Structures are given as C-alpha cells and as structure tokens.
Amino acid sequence: MATALVILAAGKGTRMNSDLPKVLHPIAHASLLEHALIAGRALDPERVIVVAGHGADAVRAAVSEIDETAEVALQEEQLGTAHAVDQAREALQDFAGDVVVLYGDTPFVSAETLERMVAAREGADLVILGFEAADPARYGRLVMDGTSLERIVEFKDASAQEREISFCNSGLMACDAGQMFDLISKIGNENASGEYYLTDLVELARAEGRSVTAVACDESETLGVNSRLDLAGADATFQAKARKSLMELGVTLMAPETVYLAFDTVIGRDTVIEPNVVFGPGVTVESGALIRAFSHLEGCHVSRGAKIGPYARLRPGAELAEDTHVGNFVEIKNAEIAAGAKVNHLSYIGDASVGEKTNIGAGTITCNYDGVMKHRTEIGARSFIGSNTLLVAPISVGDEAMTATGTVVTRTVEDGDLAIGRTRQENKPGRARKLMDILRAKKVKISKEAK
Ligand code: UD1
Ligand code: CA
C-alpha cells in the first residue's frame, strides 16, 4: 500500500517568541520538521507534502534542503487542522493509497509506532494515534467504545465528565486518501474555537458506517514543542536517548551528560569520549578512537585509533585517517590528514592535505585565504614542518621534506629538501650586558627627575 505523508507545519508558534517559524527550531542540529521527516521515512512514503503557512518561504527552503522530493502546500490562513490537511488535496488528487498525518512540531514519534498505525489500517478505515497522558491538560480526548473509537472531543468542547478521560489524541492519523478528503469536505467549524477540526473525521467516518480505532504509543513520542522551554526539554530528551544508545553500542562516555550529540552522530565501538565534547552535524568517528575533553567536531570523519584533543576543533571537511593525532588548540578544516600524521599543538590546517606520518610542528599555519579566494596547501609523506611555519597557499611541500622553524614558505619545497626562510641571526659579543647598563642608568635618571 502506497503511503503519502502530510506534515502539518503552518502554525505560528506564538509562544516561541521568534522570527523563525516554530518547525525550523533545532533539536540536536536538525529542525523539528527534519526530525518529523526522518521519522516519516520509516513508512517509505511515495509522497511527502508539508503544509506551510507562517514563514512559508523559510519552510519551503528548509524542506528542499532536507528532501528534494518533498512538496510544500500553502495554507494561507490557519483555519484549523482539517483545513490544513485539505491544502494537500490538490497535490494528492491522483494519489491512491493511505495518507498519514504527522505534525511538524512533534519530532519524536518512532518508526515502530508509525508501522503499528499502518498495520492497524488492515482492520480499520481510520486509525488515530493516542496516548495515556500523565497530565491530559488541553489535549483532545479519545472517547472509546471498547476497541473502537467513538469520537474525539476537543478540550474546549468537552464536558466535565469527558475531561476526566486521560487517553488523548496525538493528532497523528492514517486513512485512505480518497476517504479522508471526502470526509474533510464535510467538516464544519461550529465549535468552541470556530476552527475546522481534523478530529471531526472520527464521527463523520462512523456515521458512514466506517470503522475507527486508536493505536496507543508512549507519551514521550507525542511530545510537542510550543515554547523555548519545551524545545530545551525535547533536546534534553533526545540527548539522553542518543547517549544511551551510543553506550549500548559500546562507546564509552566518561561524563555522558556533558556530551552534546547531533541527530546524525555516528561513533564506533570502543571509542572513548571524554567530558564536554560537542558534536555538530555530520560527524562519523570509527572504532577505537579517543576524543579528549572540550573538543568540538562538525562535518568531519575520524578514523580508527585517532586521538583528538583536548581542545581540538574539527570543522567541515576534516578527514582524519587511522592513528592520526590532533592535539590541543588545533583547528582543521577541509583537510585530509593521512595515517599516522600528527598535528599536536596550536595549529591551523585549512584547505590542505598532509601525507602519512608527517609531523606538523607547534604553531604551524596554512595561510589559505588571500582576502578573496581560498587556496590549497599540499604536504607530502614523512615530512617535518618546523614550529611556527607559515605555509602561504597555494603551496606544496614534498615527501621527506623539512621546513625550518619560523619559515615562511612561499615557494614549492621538493621531495627531500629543507626550506629555511627567516632572517639570518647575528650575535654581538658582550652587547647584552652593555645594553642592560645603559637601560638601568636611564631608569635611575627618570625616577630622579620625577621627584
Ligand atoms: C490538536 C488536536 C488535539 C490534539 C493535539 C495534540 C485538533 C482539532 N486538535 O490540537 O485533539 O490533542 O493537537 O497536540 O486537531 N496546524 C496547521 N494549520 C492550522 C492549524 C494547525 O498547520 O490551521 C498545525 C500546527 O502547526 C501544529 C498542528 O497542526 O503542528 C496542531 O495544531 P495545534 O493548533 O497545535 O492543535 P491543538 O489545538 O494543539
Ligand atoms: Ca498543539
């Protein structure tokens, strides 16, 4: 059975107090909407329609970055959840299969839950995802009749007795596309909010003799984000889960609660992560690596046996081969560091390649930017770059070559050559003592004059 996802993302999110549409706020470096899209992928959807309204241009741009095949339908006025789904009608007019409705601000629904919803469609025309709420608050209540769902009553429209129900509506549902759009046409807005409620589908479906059921999931999966506080809470929930699953996979986190992970962080078995390490998006670390305290990694790859940090910064395009060492206060960007190479102290290596077993001395800088363009530095294998070498790119240094400490490299260094480019030192015998005497005398004179 083909599936189309309709993701509701038109709401303003007033309580976020933000210029950014709510669904674009991030958790672990992916927007709420991206989390919802990732969750929806479990159903291998044939079509994905995101309903955007507030900040539609920004949402459209974000959607095209996340998934080129996803479409955006515009909901100009937010007249309610049924009206929102109705905006996907045109895009889906030739679609045959099931529509699964997700919320763009509900990032944590699991693949397993979505699969259970779809499976439940075998026995029911309309499947609603519900959850037992610890605090039902203002959620819509599911009025059950045995295993079948009689109706959903919104909090505002509920009687005191109905408000006692703790089985609540997550908002997610699955239904045949044709049936869903037919029923949506019949939904009115005569209710306490004056909105077109998607939840009215339940009663309308039953009135036509169709079967409606509810599938339950854990409340944590239906967690919605409405405020910055919710966002921080949702991020914390995500982090706790992600750390736990890494540890289960055999990664050591020395102080788990201080490690910040991205939604797509991948770390291999027996890698050790010291305290206070931050992962941005797009990081993979192989097995048996060591990431020492206070390091920051994003968009990079760290191979088996590498040792990173403390206080290292790996930026996008940093490719570290096996057994490389990157030490304190070293920044690496868009550069390949080959196996066994070392960059141990206080260096910037950007737009570069460093060959096998090469040693980069303390304070080495690749001068990659001329103010307008970026240029590359190529360094060969088994070479030795002396401390405080400046490599003025574009530049290359061969294999088994050396640069003397303090050299400013502006010309190619061939294989096996030594480059020295610094002012020649001259020594003046006895001059230091004389100079000291002169300076001391001067100081005495100045302090006498001051009195
Ligand atoms: C909705 C449900 C309620 C459920 C709750 C779960 C209805 C009538 N009520 O209520 O039963 O317990 O979700 O969180 O469906 N949206 C649009 N366009 C609109 C209106 C909403 O895109 O015109 C989007 C919002 O951005 C949000 C989602 O739909 O992602 C839910 O809307 P919201 O207004 O938060 O619904 P609730 O009143 O919380
Ligand atoms: Ca809501």
Which tens digit of pLDDT belongs to each residue from 298-322? 999 999 999 999 999 999 999 999 9
Same domain? For 209 and 283 the reply is no
Same domain? For 248 and 218 the reply is no
Which tens digit of pLDDT belongs to each residue from 324-339? 999 999 999 999 999 9
**Crossing angle for the helix pair 32-40 and 111-120, to the nearest 10 degrees:** 50
pLDDT of amino acid 451: 87
Same domain? For 189 and 313 the reply is no
Which tens digit of pLDDT belongs to each residue from 31-58? 999 999 999 999 999 999 999 999 999 9
CA 63 to chain centre: 15
Give the position, in ligand 1's atom list, of the atom nearest the Cα of 195.
8
425 located within any domain: no
For 377, which DSSP code? Answer: E
Same domain? For 305 and 218 the reply is no
358 lines ligand 1 (CB under 6 A): no
R_g (Cα) of the chain, nearest Å: 31
229 located within any domain: no
Query: CA-CA distances (angstroms) from residue 36 to 20, 66, 125?
Result: 17, 11, 24
428 located within any domain: no
For 229, residues 6+ apart whose C-beta sits below 8 A from its C-beta are none
Same domain? For 181 and 273 the reply is no
Domain ranges, residue 317: 240-419
Same domain? For 146 and 256 the reply is no
Same domain? For 162 and 278 the reply is no
Give which of 406, 398, 313 is closest to 302, Cα–Cα. Answer: 313
Same domain? For 200 and 274 the reply is no
The best mutation among 81, 128, 132, 166 to test binding of ligand 1, ranked by most ligand atoms within 8 Å of the C-beta, falls on 81
Percentage, residues of the chain above pLDDT 70: 100
Distance 138 CA to ligand 2 centre (A): 9
Predicted model pTM: 0.93
Same domain? For 349 and 383 the reply is yes
The residue with tokens 């955006």 is: 72
Distance 190 CA to ligand 2 centre (A): 20
Task: Report the CATH number that the domain containing residue 204 is assigned in CATH.
Answer: 3.90.550.10
**Nearest C-alpha to atom 13 of ligand 1 is from which residue?**
171
Whether residue 342 is predicted with pLDDT greater than 90 in this model: the reply is: yes
Which tens digit of pLDDT belongs to each residue from 162-175? 999 999 999 999 99
**Nearest C-alpha to atom 11 of ligand 1 is from which residue?**
140
246 lines ligand 1 (CB under 6 A): no
Which tens digit of pLDDT belongs to each residue from 89-112? 999 999 999 999 999 999 999 999
Give the position, in ligand 1's atom list, of the atom nearest the Cα of 84.
18
79 lines ligand 1 (CB under 6 A): yes
Same domain? For 280 and 369 the reply is yes
Report the distance separating Cα 140 and Cα 156, nearest Å: 9
Same domain? For 245 and 110 the reply is no
345 is catalytic: yes
Distance 168 CA to ligand 2 centre (A): 12
Q: How many domains does the chain have?
A: 2
Distance 224 CA to ligand 2 centre (A): 7
171 lines ligand 1 (CB under 6 A): yes
Which tens digit of pLDDT belongs to each residue from 372-395? 999 999 999 999 999 999 999 999
272 located within any domain: yes
Report the distance separating Cα 146 and Cα 442, nearest Å: 101
Q: What is the DSSP string of 235-295?
A: HHHHHHHHHHHHHHTT-EESSGGG-B--TT-EE-TT-EE-SS-EE-SS-EE-TT-EE-TT-
β strands within 383-428, DSSP E: 384-385, 390-392, 395-397, 402-403, 408-409, 418-419
Q: How confident is the model at residue 240 (pLDDT cuts 50, 70, 90)?
A: very high
Last residue of a domain, one of 222, 250, 278: 222
Nearest ligand to the CA of 12 is 1
